[in-house]
């Protein structure tokens, strides 16, 4: 439990609760029972995410195994997970930085070949048969996860 955190907006003491909150980086991902700090005075709230790297690994694994095509925020999430700026991912995928940006903003849909290449860049050792099972429609990963002492896990 985080103690004595002051509101960045008004300086009042934040109150800690446990809530289910959508994960801001990925549509369709729900964080179950996460600590939320809320300012009683101005209503400012902040989600506390323990072990963010382990959560990132878990979600990246689900994204590369997902049967639907990737959506914009998932493409951005995987690029960030690789630790690459847009220009560097563009160089590795053989496209322009503007193309990466349009995919991430949902202005263009990533094609089936680029979708598979991005997954391979993230996975390295992804089973090749899995590539044949990816469908044609972009649809966000739908997943609920919960943090325990051992780290983040998929909720049953
Ligand atoms: Zn406040």
Q: How far is the CA of 64 from the centre of ligand 1 (A)?
A: 39
Residue 129 token pair: 């048969």
Q: How far is the CA of 50 from the centre of ligand 1 (A)?
A: 22
pLDDT in tens, 22-52: 999 999 999 999 999 999 999 999 999 999 9
Given a cut of 80, is residue 129 above it in pLDDT? no
Report H helices in the chain. Answer: 52-65, 72-82, 86-93, 97-104, 112-123
Structural domains in the chain, CATH included, are 1-51+141-156 (no CATH), 67-140 (1.10.260.40)
Predicted pLDDT of residue 39: 94
Predicted pLDDT of residue 3: 67
Q: What is the widest separation between alpha-carbon atoms in the chain?
A: 54
- 118-156 burial, b if ≥16 CB within 10 A, otherwise e? bbebbbeebeeeeeeebeeebebbebebebeeeebeeee
Q: How far is the CA of 152 from the centre of ligand 1 (A)?
A: 29
119, 141 Cβ separation under 8 angstroms: no
pLDDT tier at 135, thresholds 50, 70, 90: confident
Q: How far is the CA of 28 from the centre of ligand 1 (A)?
A: 28
2, 37 Cβ separation under 8 angstroms: yes
- Supply the mean pLDDT for the chain: 92
């Amino acid at each position: 439990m985080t103690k004595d955190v002051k509101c960045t907006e008004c300086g009042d003491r934040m109150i800690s609760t446990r809530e289910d909150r959508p994960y801001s980086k990925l549509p369709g991902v729900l964080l179950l029972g996460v600590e939320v700090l809320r300012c009683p005075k101005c209503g400012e709230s902040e989600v506390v995410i323990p072990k963010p790297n382990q959560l990132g690994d878990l979600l990246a694994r689900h994204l590369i195994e997902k049967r639907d095509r990737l959506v914009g925020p998932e493409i951005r999430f995987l690029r960030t997970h690789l630790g690459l700026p847009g220009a560097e991912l563009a160089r590795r995928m053989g496209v322009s930085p503007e193309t990466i940006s349009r995919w991430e903003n949902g202005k263009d849909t990533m094609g089936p070949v680029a979708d598979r290449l991005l997954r391979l860049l993230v996975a390295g050792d992804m089973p090749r048969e899995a590539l044949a099972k990816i469908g044609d429609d972009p649809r966000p990963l739908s997943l609920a996860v919960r943090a325990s002492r051992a780290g983040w896990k998929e909720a049953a």
